[in-house]
Amino acid sequence: MSKNIVFLINKSEITAGTRGASLGPDAVFTAARKRGSFIFGENQVEKLQSVNHLLDHPTQFQFAKRIDGLSEIYTQLNDKVSNLLLNNNFPFVLAADHGSAGGTIAGIKSAFPSKRIGVVWIDAHADIHTPYTTPSGNMHGMPLATALNVDNLECKVNEVSQETLLFWNKLKQTGGTAPKINPEDVVYIAVRDTEEQEDAIMKRLNIRNYQVTEVRTKGVGTVIAEIEEKLKACDCIYVSFDVDSMDPEMTSHGTGTPVANGLSPQEAKEILLRLANNEKTVCIEVVEVNPCLDEKINVMAEVTFDIIEAVTHELKN
């Protein structure tokens, strides 16, 4: 069935530790124009209001940097994504950094409060830190924790202020439901750079991680078949694709936190194409293209666009 795709652009980069991801969506649009592709003209494009002005001022939240602004983004995403889904659209989110993904999940849950949401998280990082465990305070390492409604107090290393906790709990409660997802309904692909606090909660929650070597050994088709079997009780699926899941030697270092030994672009494309072909998939998000860090002059955006274009065609057919 052909999907009515709406590209939802989120340029806020307040949760990353490096600057430039706000230029990522435009870099992808530039790659499309260079290629002579018209997918962004043929499909509806909507934009969230940016809160990047917060980067021009210091943040008072040491262990959850600019969480006040992220709360605004979660609210925007919750409203926009839920509205798109309720009007039978397919939100294809192009975001600057990964910190806002919890807001996207909130929007899916708001649209389908009684449905069980499966999450396929394709990333070099687990993104399941909390203000209590974060080594950096950068909130692009925390979105899954907000959706799962976990604090990981068992691994607490930080003393977190009450004001931070008020915003943290607000994030987790976005849309009025917490948790949004169950640990058994989360699957990682290509996660390979974690801290011990994340390893502990991943083990405790028994979250499955398909490492790159396993993807290569089994093949993408087998891995996706296993994931679909694991998520068969879910009513809908959200796919979150961080470009740092790919190997920087095969792409570029045009992302905030590149990690060696990742997926090839072809493997990433095949994974997303197969997931896009699943009728349960209701939303796809692509994040963390940063042209300011690209030593190959926009190659990461071009590789990412190639994947987006292929997935768009799959969704339309």
Which positions are catalytic? Answer: 98, 123, 125, 127, 140, 242, 244, 288
- Judge contact between 293 and 256, C-beta under 8 A: yes
Token readout for 40 is: 């962004």
- The one-letter amino acid code at 191 reads V
- What letter would DSSP give residue 261? S
- Judge contact between 229 and 277, C-beta under 8 A: no
Backbone angles phi, psi at 250, to 5 degrees: -95, -10
Give the three-class secondary structure for 158.
coil
Pick the closest to residue 231 from 187, 181, 285, 284 (CA basis).
187
Token readout for 122 is: 């394709």
Give the three-class secondary structure for 248.
coil
CA–CA distance, 139 with 261 (Å, rounded to integer): 24
CA–CA distance, 314 with 182 (Å, rounded to integer): 28
Give the three-class secondary structure for 120.
strand
Token readout for 200 is: 């502990």
